[in-house]
Structure 1
Amino acid sequence: MAFSEETIRLAQQIWDYHHVNHTLQPADCIMVLGSHDLRVAERGAELWLQGYAPWLLFAGGLGRLTLGLWQETEADKFAAVAQQMGVPAENILIENRSTNTGENVALSYQLLQARQIKVKRFILVQKPYMERRTLATFEKQWPGEQTEILVTSPQIAFKDYPNQDVTLEEVISIMLGDLQRIKVYPEKGFQTYQPIPAEVWAAYEQLVAQGFTSHLIAE
């Protein structure tokens, strides 16, 4: 399906907002959040191979998009990608029971506690359009002592992101769903507050009016 230049322009605004543009620094652990997108696993492995942290943690069981699509969990599938890229198995941690970001937080914390691994700085790796929501969720829900959180994602431009696994229409719809959650979830205690510029919210409203509503929640 072809979309107008205006639709692409509005979607690019949402895409740009979802990026937090953190400058990465050495950390105690790289945590890769599971999904259907193996490029996220590749980004996490690249960072480990570049020496950013001693541990590479993959979190994710089978979620809404992978349940019925994959036979093995997201974390196990991602870990296999990392090992194929050269990350030793002894440096990989696997949390493969969680089905959402909140469970990613809780179960990964339990795993690190059990292994007696202290994390003062995390690098979180997520899909490009989920950077900001991931930051907001971890800032609110990570237990224990204060932990610095840096977020990154596969270094892919918006126009190049759709592939055989996710269409442009799906990407736009998912981005709008995440932006809506960034707006409403702080009131529910799920995430920290993230300011949304007026022009970004205007772009959201115009795209919703165009019908990109499949990932919105009832408020």
Structure 2
Amino acid sequence: MISAQAWSDAQRLWDFQQMHHEPRPCSVGIGLGSHDLGVADVTVDLYRRGMVPLIVFTGATSRTTRERMPRGEAEHYRERALELGVPTNAVLVEPKARNTGENISFSRSLLVERGVDVLSVLLVSKPYEERRAYATARKLWPQVEVVSASAPMTLAEYVDSMQDTRLVLDMLVGAQQRLLIYPEQGFMIRQEIPEPVTAAYERLCSEGFTSRLIPTP
């Protein structure tokens, strides 16, 4: 049973993680691999709306996806895009990345190899990882403009779609931890984190939503 305080704290993290960017035309759309096929759907929708001429799906597998997506996250995303009518030549696959940093770095390398001139990136992630993805891209690919995008869903709608409340809250807490510790490790840019957000994160940790935390010294 999730307490009212935990729901309130999760909502605070959810709101903070979203960048609230307005989608606009970019050189390429990059869909970050995960357990959520909704990322592929959003990327396809942006392609159909003329926001990007080319899509890169990036991701291998993780402990969350190895059973759901045995052929790899990026490949399952590509299959989804083709089912939805995207032409084969409009989709590139980067199948090796196992974390957000590799998603960005390997996608960048793939686009260089293909001779694609990139001035801006429409970066598509899960709703609760927009800020993490943005901060990572700004650190690892500072030359390009980064526009964040995700499915326009409320926290309650997302939990319903995933059918796994604890997983979503654990993921929220994990994403927030990375905003706190990764800048010091050089993995992302530093961002100001309001004290109420940090307090909400700490309460959720104390309630046991910790399965996605990285061990720290």
TM-score grouping bracket, smaller chain normalisation = over 0.9
The answer to whether structure 1 residue 57 and structure 2 residue 56 are counterparts is yes
Counterpart of 2:168 in structure 1 is 171
Alignment partner, residue 195 of structure 1:
192
1:137 and 2:136 aligned: yes
1:185 to 176, 182, 187: 182
Q: Provide the C-alpha distance between the structure 2 equivalents of 1:179 and 1:208, rounded to a whole number of angstroms.
A: 11
Provide closer, same or farther for how the CA distance between residues 49 and 196 of structure 1 changes in structure 2, counting only shifts above 3 A. Answer: same
Percent of pairs with identical residues: 38
Q: In the aligned structure 1, how far is the partner of 2:118 from the partner of 2:45?
A: 20
1:76 maps to amino acid: E
Off by >6 Å, runs of 4+ in structure 1:
none
CA distance in 2, matches of 1:98, 1:204: 27
Deviation sequence 1:149-193 (CA, Å, 0-9, x none): 011111111001124755111111111111111011101111100
**Alignment partner of 2:209: what SS?**
coil
Q: How does 1:58-207 map to 2 (within 5 A)?
A: 58-142=57-141, 146-163=143-160, 165=162, 167-207=164-204
Structure 1 counterpart of 2:13, which letter? Answer: I
The Cα shift of 1:218 comes to 2.0
Gaps of at least 5 residues in structure 1 are none
Q: Which amino acid aligns with 1:54?
A: P
Partner residue of 1:23?
22
Alpha-carbon deviations, 1:63-116, whole Å to 9, x = none?
A: 231124432111111011111111111111111111111211221111111110
Structure 2 gaps, min length 5: none
Structure 1: how far apart are the matches of 2:86 and 2:181?
38
2:209 aligned partner: 212
Question: Secondary structure of 1:14's match?
Answer: helix
The residue identity in structure 1 corresponding to 2:44 is A
Give the secondary structure class of the aligned counterpart of 1:58: strand
CA distance in 2, matches of 1:80, 1:177: 28
With normalisation by structure 2, the TM-score equals 0.95
Report the CA distance between 1:206 and its aligned residue: 1.3
Match of 1:13 in 2: 12
Q: How many residues align?
A: 216
User: Which residue identity does 1:199 align to in structure 2?
Assistant: P
Give the secondary structure class of the aligned counterpart of 1:93: strand
